[in-house]
Amino acid sequence: MAFMIRRFYSSVVEKTVLISRSTDVFENLALEHWYYRHSDFTNKSMLLLWVNSNSVVIGRHQNPWLEVNFDPAIDLRIARRNSGGGTVFHDNENLNMTFFTNRDIYNRKQNLELIVETLKNEWNVVTEINKREDIVIDNMYKISGTASKLGRPNAYHHCTLLVNCNRELMSNLLRKREKNIETNATVSVTSDVLNLTQINNKVCINRLMTAVGLQYLKTVGNTTTINQGFNYVTPNEQTFPGFNEIKNEMESWEWIYGRTPKFNITVKCNDQSVILSVKNGIIENVATACNVSLNNLVNEKFNMNIVEEIKQHLKTIKK
d(CA 27, CA 248): 9
pLDDT value of position 190: 87
Kindly state the average pLDDT of the residues 216-244: 85
Per-residue pLDDT tens digits for 179-212: 999 999 999 988 999 999 999 999 999 999 999 9
Per-residue pLDDT tens digits for 266-297: 999 888 899 999 999 999 999 987 877 788 99
Residue 154: Cβ within 10 Å count: 20
The answer to which of 69-78, 158-167, 257-266 has the lowest mean pLDDT is 69-78
Kindly state the average pLDDT of the residues 38-54: 95
d(CA 262, CA 66): 12
d(CA 187, CA 45): 31
Per-residue pLDDT tens digits for 77-99: 999 999 999 999 999 999 999 99
- Asked if 85 and 123 touch (Cβ cutoff 8 Å), the reply is no
Per-residue pLDDT tens digits for 156-180: 999 999 999 999 999 999 998 889 9
d(CA 240, CA 39): 11
Residue 197: Cβ within 10 Å count: 16
pLDDT value of position 3: 41
pTM (predicted TM-score): 0.92
d(CA 227, CA 44): 10
| Position 299 pLDDT exceeds 50 | yes
Residue 200: Cβ within 10 Å count: 12
pLDDT value of position 220: 58
pLDDT value of position 2: 44
Per-residue pLDDT tens digits for 115-151: 999 999 999 999 999 998 999 999 999 999 999 999 9
pLDDT value of position 224: 59
Kindly state the average pLDDT of the residues 32-42: 96
pLDDT band at 1 (very low <50, low <70, confident <90, very high): very low
At residue 304, φ and ψ (nearest 5 deg) are -70, -20
pLDDT value of position 223: 58
pLDDT value of position 75: 87
201: number of CA atoms within 13 Å, CB side? 0
